[in-house]
Amino acid sequence: MKTGATTLKSDSSLGARLTADRLASPRVSARCAVCGGDRLLDHLAVAAEQGPEGLIPTTDRFGTALSDIARCADCTHMQLREIPGQAELEQAYGEAASDDYVEEEAGQRATARDLLERLERHVDKGGLVDLGCWVGFLLDEARARGWGPVTGVEPSTFASGYARDRLNLDVLTDDLMKADLPAGTHQAVVLGDVIEHLPDPGGALDRVRDLLVPGGAVMLMLPDAGSRIARAMGKRWWSVIPTHVHYFTRASLTRLLLDHGYELRHLGTTPKAFTVRYYLERIGGYSAVVSRALVAGATAVGAADRIWAPDFRDRMVAIAVRK
């Protein structure tokens, strides 16, 4: 489960839609998913749609979501007013397909190496599970650094197949919370661009805790909805997209980790490395004309294919150990 600008792999990916009939019975958010508080205030009124491409893992439909967004008055967490059912999301993500992250392999691997270096400061190398591993670049980098065994779980048949067939990785095509994995045997679990997609984030952390050895670490990478740029841009922030169910702040993520049996060891920013072209193409979510002009300019000066990792400080990484 990853996010960015989109290029569909094939027409078959159009099946990854959560249309009105498949959202017939959403769960209305009565309580905050982090603290359990019932003071959920109206926060962002968004276009409650997802577009014809469906819940693909990469999108530029900024300012859209599956319902309006509420904010908890007690812990700052934000979440959809209507939470989709897990079964509907599983089916939609299973059908998701996109070539963008494959085409951006060099930057993705550079980002993965930086994250693994941080993780290794807090836990010894050993078994590692990447829940929502997409095409497996982080897993492949972990294997090269001496982690093992490395295992991935990915609901997308396209992405999990790529990881197995192209990278020879042990990746299960399965739901993240139901995959058959040995309990209490892993040094680390990675949730990269995952927890914000899940209806029950606390349950996900309980599942991760069961997979870890005592003292093992979970590493999460996700958007920071409490960042300055997110607050300034409001619903036009590029992380307000149809695939996101939850919008964590540093405070709400920290609370969730503590309440589910973890000790926070590291909380920082983690920019993604992509080509200049990729970032400029994302501007198409705001203005296609401006995006095309910028890409043309970058191409003309020979900068379009350079790797770039601008830190807007609106994307966070948290590393926490199991108590």
pLDDT of residue 41: 95
> Cβ distance 155 to 134 under 8 Å?
no
DSSP string, 100-114: HHHHTHHHHHHHHHH
How far, in Å, are 10, 44, 77, 89, 218 from residue 31 at the CA level? 39, 17, 11, 20, 25
**Which helix (H) or strand (E) is 142 found in, with range?**
helix 137-144
Q: Where are the domains of the chain?
A: 11-94, 100-322
pLDDT of residue 64: 85
DSSP string, 255-316: HHHHHTTEEEEEEEE-PPPEEHHHHHHHGGGT-HHHHHHHHHHHHHTT-TTSEE----S-EE
101's tokens: 């992250």
Please identify which residue in the block is written with the tokens 């897993």.
139
pLDDT of residue 84: 82
| CATH number 3.40.50.150 given to 100-322 | yes
pLDDT of residue 323: 93
Across-strand partners of 319? 219, 266
Beta strands of 81-226 (E only): which ranges?
Answer: 82-83, 128-131, 150-153, 170-172, 186-192, 212-223
Give dist(CA 98, CA 115) in Å, integer: 23
Q: Which is nearest to 155 in space by CA: 138, 137, 130?
A: 130
Mean pLDDT in consecutive groups of 10 residues from the start of the chain, 323 residues: 36 33 58 96 81 53 87 96 78 71 93 98 98 96 98 95 97 94 97 95 97 98 98 95 94 98 98 95 92 97 96 98 96
> Cβ distance 221 to 270 under 8 Å?
yes
Give dist(CA 146, CA 156) in Å, integer: 27
